[in-house]
Each structure stands twice: as structure tokens, then as C-alpha cells.
Amino acid sequence: MVSCDVYKSDRRALMYLYVLEGEGLERVPAALMKTFGNPTFVLNVELTPDKALAKEDPKVVIEHLETQGYHLQMSPIEAL
């Protein structure tokens, strides 16, 4: 189980950053933060590989949190 905090972007609709709980946004690259804008805390969530998320694969989110310290969720249109 991984506990994480979720922040939303003030610049782009449906753009969210997941970060490990308590770590804040220090591991998020500066260039990404510039694009992301001012983060607004949305929620804290406990992730497990089998816990369904609305728009993300929890296994991928957990892997990104463990390897790079954050996971970026974008709207499907922006992701293309």
C-alpha cells in the first residue's frame, strides 16, 4: 500500500500530480511545475495495485511514485 497526496493544476483542466504523502512536490521537475502552475491539494489516497482509480492504472501510479517520486495525470486529449 502506498499513501499519496494528489494536487490539481490551476492552468490545465484535468491535470493532476500524485506524490508520495509527506514528500511534497520537491521531486517534481522544475519544468513540469512551471507548466503545471500553482498546485492545489485535492486529497490523500491509499493506493494498492487492485484499488480501482477513475482514470489511471493504480499499478502504473505506484510504479511512478516509487521510481520517480510523482505521477502526472493528464486529460486524454492532452496526453495525445
pLDDT > 70? residue 1: yes
The total of other beta-carbon atoms located within 10 Å of residue 19's CB is 20
- Strands, E, within the chain: which ranges? 2-8, 16-20, 40-47, 70-73
Q: Is the pLDDT of residue 4 over 60?
A: yes
Reference 58, options 46, 69, 67; nearest CA is 46
pLDDT value of position 77? 61
Q: Does domain 2-45+63-79 have CATH number 3.40.50.1100?
A: no
Main-chain dihedrals φ then ψ at residue 15, nearest 5 degrees: -110, 125
pTM confidence score: 0.89
